[in-house]
Amino acid sequence: MTPAARIQAAIEILDRVLDGEAAEKALTGWARRSRFAGSKDRAAIRDHVFDAIRCKRSFAARGGAMTGRGLMIGLARAQELDTDALFSGEGHAPAPLSEAEAAAGHAPEGAEALDIPDWLEQTFRDSLGDQAEAVAAVLQSRAPVMLRVNRRKADIAQAQTSLSGEGIETRPAEISDTALLVTEGARKVSNSAAFKSGLVELQDGASQAVVDALPLADGMRVLDYCAGGGGKTLAMAGRAQGRFFAHDANAGRLVDLPARAKRAGVKVQLLEPGKVEGQFDLVLCDVPCSGSGSWRRAPDGKWRLSAENLSELNGIQQSILEEACGFVAPGGVLAYATCSVLSCENGAQVDGFLSRHAEWRETLRKQWLPGPEGDGFFLSVLTHG
């Protein structure tokens, strides 16, 4: 496919996304209907679609319309591409710009330029202070592909050698001593022998750094209370020899965990929703949140979030802390984590908890901002007794 034909494909997919179809579904549907497209075409189209979703407001402003075509005109203008060459109408290229389209569009300003919803702008700025604009700019860009080396099976050098043998080039990241940044061959990772044999997992760098900061020690009983796919359960089990338990209110989220644990060579016991019993030395609550620290990877979330959802999430976060603290053994640790940069989900939640529970104290609070080696994350470590 020509670069222009890829733009046309992205326009069609984005129109479906704007009509409410999930981006992944729209991309898969297009690929099924377009067998002629090769893997490089599909990858380039995917990049256009996700770039446009991340920068939906600013591209629509530049392109003059909130349509697939408007977004792609906006992308071409923002990335200083040759609009006339791409919108030529030749072959499978999109039609040339009409006079009205050529005259439409404006330089985005304020929340529009930051690609943040208007209702969220003040909360975002209050949470991030003088970092707000820099963080919004990072959220407009693509996320790095990162791996976690499973230290139960390999060290960094062994994992790199194995990956390199399959055309996947990496370099160690500073954010965590288990993290590798993929510099070439990212799309080959999930089919590689290194991945299939459990030497590496796909995991964001800051997600690994959160686990590094937990006071894990051999022999601990550890409960991952909001385990989801189990990314952090496995990272914890990779760092210490102990007994690991995974729980999630939605049992369906845990289905892949036994196979992932087997591949990683670790044991994880699944606990059914509401059936947690006994006490644990460390309870991690990686709670549901806005995902604002990882909107580069899941940009739909930025536009789906509403003030009502955020306040509902705040209520869930509070009740998870209240439930989970009861499972911490005397002298044990309660860890609260989010992939958010919003203070109402982070420090304010922990401050609220501490004001209700005088017996708990905070031993660590850390915010990672989205950057070249990872997403935005928050961690608070609490102890009692």
Catalytic residue list: 339
Q: Any contact of residue 260 with ligand SAM (CB under 6 A)?
A: no
Q: At 384, which amino acid appears? A: H
Neighbours of 273 (CB within 10 A): 13
Q: Any contact of residue 375 with ligand SAM (CB under 6 A)?
A: no
* 293/349 Cα distance (integer angstroms): 16
Q: Which is nearer to ligand SAM, 108 or 231 (CB)?
A: 231
Minimum separation from the CB atom of position 78 to ligand SAM (A): 31
Kindly write out the interface string for residues 18-57 of this chain, putting x where it contacts ligand SAM by CB under 6 A and - elsewhere: ----------------------------------------
286 is in an annotated binding site: yes
Minimum separation from the CB atom of position 338 to ligand SAM (A): 7
Strands, E assignment, the chain: 146-149, 169-172, 179-184, 200-202, 221-224, 243-247, 268-271, 280-286, 328-338, 360-368, 377-384
248 is in an annotated binding site: yes
Q: Which is nearer to ligand SAM, 42 or 232 (CB)?
A: 232
Q: Any contact of residue 225 with ligand SAM (CB under 6 A)?
A: yes
What's the chain's length in residues? 385
- Contacts (CB under 6 A) with ligand SAM, residues 270-329: 286, 288, 316, 320
Specify the residue for token string 């020690």: 217
Q: Which residues contact residue 313 at a Cβ distance below 8 angstroms, ignoring those fewer than 6 apart? A: 288, 289, 290, 345
Q: Any contact of residue 248 with ligand SAM (CB under 6 A)?
A: yes
Measured CA to CA in angstroms, residue 87 lies from 83, 159, 339 at distances of: 6, 45, 39
Q: Any contact of residue 226 with ligand SAM (CB under 6 A)?
A: yes
Minimum separation from the CB atom of position 335 to ligand SAM (A): 11
* Residues within the interface to ligand SAM (CB under 6 A): 225-229, 231-232, 248-250, 253, 286, 288, 316, 320
